[in-house]
Every structure is written in C-alpha cells, then in structure tokens.
C-alpha cells in the first residue's frame, strides 16, 4: 500500500480523472510542450507590438501620438486580461482548457491581422508626394475597425493564455518530492529564458520579414506557429497532470470584504482567541494587528451558520482568521504593486516613440539596413547580459560578502527603478541631439545623418532595469502572497505591466493636449521632427525619480505577516481588543 501511494501524486489527476501516476504523467516532457506555447505567444505578441507603430504611421498615416497610444492600449489590454483569464481558469475552465481555448482565439486574431495587412481595401492608398509636400489619407473607420478587432482578439488570447501557462507548467512537478521540486525551480528559469528567446526571435527575424518581405507574411507565420503550438500542446493531453481548482481567490477576497462590511457596527471581542477559526493547524495563519477593520469578518454572530447550527458557516457572512489574514497579505502587496507601474510606463516608450526615433535615423551597417523595430533587440540583449552577470558574478560576490543569496526581491525592484530613471534621462539627451540634427538640415531629408546607435544607452538601461524588476516582482508577489492566492498574485504582478501601458497612453494624451500650441504643434507633434519629445522624456525621468522616492517610503512601511502563538492565545488585558489595536 505504501509503495502504491508513493507512485501517485496526491493532489493531481490524469486526463481520466484518476490519481496521476508519477511514471506516466508530469515531468519535463509535458512541461516542454507547455513552454512551446509560450515561445509562440511571445513571438506573436511582441513581433506585432514592437513594430506596429511604424505600420500605423507609415501605412495607415496616423499621427505619431495616436499610433503610440494604439500600441500601448493593445499591450495594456493584453496584460490586464490576465486577471480575467485567471478567474476563468480557477473558477470554471481549468488551466488546460484555458490554454487550448485562448491559444485558438489568439491564432484567429493573428490570421485576421495578416488579412488586414494584405488586402489593399483594408488600408488607405499611399501618399501622393508633390515636391516637399505630401497628401496622405488616413485609414477610415472600417479599416481601423478591422485592425482593432484583430488586435483585441490577440489581446484576449494573450490574456487567457498567459494567466495559465506558468501555473500549468508547474503543475507537472510535485512540490512534495525533493527531486521534482528541484526541477520546478529549473522550470522557472527555463520559462523566463523562453520568454526572452521568443522576444528575441520576434524583434529580429519577424521584424525583418515585416519590413523586407511583407507584414502579412510575418503575421501568417505567427498564425502557423500558433496552430503548430496548439497541436503539439494537445498531443500531450494524456501525459499532463491536472490539479483540481480550489475556487477563485477573487471570490474569497470579496467574501471577507462583504462579511466585514456587514459586521462593521459590531464590537470587537475582548480576546483574539474568540475570532472564528476552522483552518487546519498546519495551514493556519495567525492574527496580525494591521487592517483590523477586516477582522470583523471573523466575529461570530447570529445567523452565521445554517438552520441546524451546522459546522459549515455561511461564507459571505463569516470567515476564518486565516481567510482574513490572506486578504491582509494581499493588501500589503498593493503599495509595492502601485509603485512599480511607472517602470512599465517608461518601458512602453521603448516600443513606441523610441522605435519611431530610430525610423528617422541612419540604421545602416555596410549595405545592411537595420529595421527600426529591431532596435529593441538591445533590450533583450541587456536582459540576458544582466541576468548572466547577476547569476555568475554579483550573486557569488554578494554571498561571500554578506552571506546572502544575492539581492532580495525588494532590492532588485529598487535597482530596476533606478535603471529606468537613468534610461529616460539618456533618452532625453539622445532626442535632444537628434532634434539638433533635424534643425541643422532643415528637415530636408527623410533619413537624418545621425547613427541610430546613439539610442543604445536608453534601450540597454531600460532592458537591464527590466531584468531586475521583472524577476524581483515575480519573486515578491509569489513569495509574499498566501499559498492559495499565488495564481492571483501573479496576475496582480502582470497588471502592473498593463497599467504601465495605460498610464503611458494617458500621459501622451494629456501632454499633447496641454502643450499644443496655436500653430498645431507641441511636445508630441504628429511628426516627431516638429515636436519636443526630449521634454516628454525628461518629464518621465522626473516622474520616475519621484516614484523611486515613494517606493523607498513604501519599503519602510511594508510589514510582512508575522505571527506569535503567545499573542494568539492571550487576552488583550484590561482593555478591549479594539481599544488596543484599532
């Protein structure tokens, strides 16, 4: 009997619903099939995003600020929908079905985008050039409608897919088995490596095909790769391990909030030990003082149980101390969450305005012309170099000096915010130099006599910042969240990326409106050669610096959950619990 138990995974089932056998399910083979989905998703999403602004400006003849906002809104929606995708996976579909369904949606979206860029009826005619003036007709409502439909189908697919890929991959390993737990740690490393690999292929090979062969061909390749990924993913159906959902953590959070609001007028009990608790001792989280208004959800009141005083409480009326503390742990993450959004706002400039800057500059190496969108390869290169230096040089030195395994998650986020601030300053300086060249040639050339490589510092600094902040955020949100809410906390982390892109769109709109002059120009003119993009970059540098200061204050405020069994059991003395702590 003991041998039989050890041959199965306790909390996982196979595709038939029977206990999953270790020898016939899970491990690296099915995990590799899942990683294949992630490569294709990155290839598709980033291949579209990093070079979309040049298509919007050059082919659809849209203003540069409008084009930048379309890209950032598309990327923001993609990451924001990760929360919705995670909710569907946890509550209804499960991770396997979520991946299969939303990968199919993304495939249809890329196919529609290929069609939109192929058919001449779905784009305006080329500009008529008369001497130095151009007569350009913008894309009409129908043409933009087809484009939006394709982009947001891709966004829906990306959101549903990304919310489940990493979780379903880790489901293939058993945390209780030491060998498989080690493999799970390697899976996270491979996962980030494959994200970077997919992005690298997107900003080099795919962008080159878009510019020199055709966008419809490039997007067609994305569709074909996604179809192949679906078939490969489905081929592993019998080999996967499936874990039963414990319900949506979002519902659990709302239950605590609803119960605490319902009981907001009740007095606190005189002793902490009188709060309701039904969790097993091994999984129990002890009470903490912070956010004590939520503690009222754990006060036992009349009507909290069934008619026959059954042991199960009504979940929307009474919650355990552990449930309340889980919500508190998530609330403690919010200040750190809020102060990392601005990084992704600066990152958004690297795939919008920085690409547009590159399109006006000399990008030749001998006879080879570098596509403007491929300049983002320096972000990927910076990520890979920074990770390698950190793993092979900084971490060993830090361990010998401090006796610790490298920087903490909060320290890595600090470093990322510093790099992004410096990156915006470097971008402002480079743009000032570019505009001085524009003035010197009086705008008489479509390609400025200025090497595109002066943009490398801004790409490299922001890329290095991403290496620190992405790993720092992922580590922080996973390790500082309750066990049952780790999927949601990962989604919370991804929403910082989403909101960063939306904040970028908001800032662009506000700055364009505020700085608009009587001549119709401003910091963000329709043609960046006529604007002051350098001042916009300086604004972002200042905002990033202020945000860094706020983040440092949040670190001092942040207090991880602590427990004390002695405090848990003792009375609050002569005064009431509310008087002492609230």
Top-ranked range on mean pLDDT: pick from 270-284, 343-357, 397-411, 551-565: 343-357
Average pLDDT value for residue range 110-134? 81
CATH assignment of 10-127+139-245?
1.20.1250.20
Give Cα separations from 371 to 53, 196, 434 (angstroms).
13, 19, 18
Dump pLDDT digits (tens) for 75-88. 899 988 888 888 88
Task: Quote the pLDDT of residue 316.
Answer: 87
Query: Which stretch of DSSP H or E encloses residue 547?
Result: helix 533-557
* Under 8 Å between Cβ of 23 and 241: no
Average pLDDT value for residue range 151-169? 88
Task: Quote the pLDDT of residue 428.
Answer: 95
Checking if the pLDDT of 6 tops 60, the result is: no
The C-alpha atoms of residue 554 and residue 558 are separated, in whole angstroms, by 6
Checking if the pLDDT of 582 tops 80, the result is: no
Checking if the pLDDT of 550 tops 90, the result is: yes
Task: Quote the pLDDT of residue 572.
Answer: 40
Confidence band for 2, pLDDT divided at 50, 70 and 90? very low
Checking if the pLDDT of 281 tops 70, the result is: yes
Confidence band for 136, pLDDT divided at 50, 70 and 90? confident
Q: Check for a shared fold between 10-127+139-245 and 330-567.
A: yes
Task: Quote the pLDDT of residue 570.
Answer: 38
Specify the higher pLDDT residue, 343 or 68.
343
Confidence band for 160, pLDDT divided at 50, 70 and 90? confident
Checking if the pLDDT of 270 tops 80, the result is: yes
The burial class, CB within 10 Å (0-12 / 13-18 / 19+), for 520 is: exposed
Q: What percent of the chain has pLDDT over 90?
A: 29
Checking if the pLDDT of 102 tops 70, the result is: yes
Confidence band for 569, pLDDT divided at 50, 70 and 90? very low
- Please state the domain extents for the chain: 10-127+139-245, 249-329, 330-567
Average pLDDT value for residue range 201-222? 89
CATH assignment of 330-567?
1.20.1250.20
Specify the higher pLDDT residue, 484 or 299.
299
Dump pLDDT digits (tens) for 299-349. 988 888 876 656 678 888 888 888 898 899 888 889 999 999 999 999 999
Residue 128: strand, helix, or coil: strand
3-state SS of 455-518 is: HHHHHHHHHHHHHHHHHHHHHHHHHCCCHHHHHHHHHHHHHHHHHHHHHHHHHHHHHHHHHCCC
Task: Quote the pLDDT of residue 440.
Answer: 87
Dump pLDDT digits (tens) for 176-201. 777 777 777 667 667 777 777 788 88
Residue 215: strand, helix, or coil: helix
Checking if the pLDDT of 4 tops 50, the result is: no
The answer to which of 244-253, 415-424, 520-529, 565-574 has the lowest mean pLDDT is: 565-574
Task: Quote the pLDDT of residue 310.
Answer: 60
Q: Which residues pair with 369 in a beta bridge?
A: 364
């Amino acid at each position: 009997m003991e041998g039989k138990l050890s041959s199965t995974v306790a909390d996982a089932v196979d595709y038939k619903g029977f206990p999953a056998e270790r020898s016939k399910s899970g491990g690296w083979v099915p995990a590799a099939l899942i990683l294949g989905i992630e490569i294709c998703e990155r290839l598709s999403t980033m291949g579209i995003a990093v070079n979309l602004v040049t298509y919007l400006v050059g082919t659809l003849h849209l203003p540069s600020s409008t084009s930048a906002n379309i890209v950032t809104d598309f990327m923001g929606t993609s990451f924001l929908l990760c929360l919705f995708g995670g909710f569907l996976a946890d509550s209804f579909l499960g991770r396997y079905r979520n991946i299969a369904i939303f990968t199919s949606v993304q495939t249809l979206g890329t196919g529609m985008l290929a069609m939109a860029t192929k058919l001449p009826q779905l784009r305006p005619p080329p500009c008529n050039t008369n001497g130095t003036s151009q007569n350009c007709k913008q894309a009409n409502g129908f043409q933009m409608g087809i484009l939006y439909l394709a982009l947001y189908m891709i966004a829906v697919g990306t959101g549903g897919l990304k919310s489940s890929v990493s979780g379903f991959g880790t489901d293939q390993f058993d945390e209780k088995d030491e060998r498989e737990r080690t493999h799970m740690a390697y899976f996270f490393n491979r996962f980030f490596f494959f994200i970077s690999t997919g992005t690298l292929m997107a900003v080099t090979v795919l962008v080159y095909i878009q510019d020199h062969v055709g966008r419809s061909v490039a997007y067609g390749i994305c569709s074909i790769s996604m179809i192949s990924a679906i078939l490969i993913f489905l081929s592993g159906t019998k080999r996967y391990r499936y874990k039963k959902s414990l319900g949506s953590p979002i519902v659990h959070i709302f239950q605590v909030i609803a119960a605490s609001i319902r009981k907001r007028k009740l007095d606190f009990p005189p002793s902490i030990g009188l709060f309701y608790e039904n969790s097993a001792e091994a999984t129990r989280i002890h009470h903490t003082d912070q956010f004590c208004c939520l503690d009222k959800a754990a006060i036992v009141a009349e009507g909290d149980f069934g008619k026959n005083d059954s042991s199960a409480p009504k979940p929307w009326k009474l919650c355990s101390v552990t449930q309340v503390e889980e919500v508190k742990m998530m609330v403690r993450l919010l200040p750190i969450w809020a102060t990392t959004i601005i990084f992704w706002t600066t990152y958004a400039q690297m795939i919008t305005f920085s690409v547009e800057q590159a399109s006006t500059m000399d990008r030749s190496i001998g006879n080879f012309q570098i596509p403007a969108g491929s300049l983002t390869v320096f972000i990927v290169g910076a990520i890979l170099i920074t990770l390698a230096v950190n793993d092979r040089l900084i971490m060993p030195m830090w361990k010998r000096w401090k006796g610790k395994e490298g920087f903490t998650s909060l320290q890595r986020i600090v470093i990322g915010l510093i790099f992004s601030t410096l990156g915006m300053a470097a971008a402002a300086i480079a743009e000032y130099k570019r505009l001085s060249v524009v003035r010197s040639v009086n705008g008489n050339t479509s390609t400025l006599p200025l090497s595109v490589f002066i943009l490398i510092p801004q790409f490299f600094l922001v890329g290095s910042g991403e290496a620190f902040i992405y790993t720092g955020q992922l580590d922080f949100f996973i390790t500082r969240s309750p066990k049952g809410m780790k999927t949601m906390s990962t989604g919370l982390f991804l929403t910082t990326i989403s909101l960063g892109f939306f904040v970028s769109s908001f800032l662009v709109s506000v700055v364009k409106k505020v700085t608009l002059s009587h001549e119709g120009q401003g910091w963000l003119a329709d043609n960046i050669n006529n604007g002051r993009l350098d001042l916009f970059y300086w604004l972002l540098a200042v905002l990033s610096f202020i945000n860094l200061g706020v983040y440092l204050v949040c670190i001092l405020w942040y207090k991880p959950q602590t427990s004390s069994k002695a405090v848990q059991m003792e009375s609050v003395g002569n005064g009431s619990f509310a008087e002492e702590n609230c």
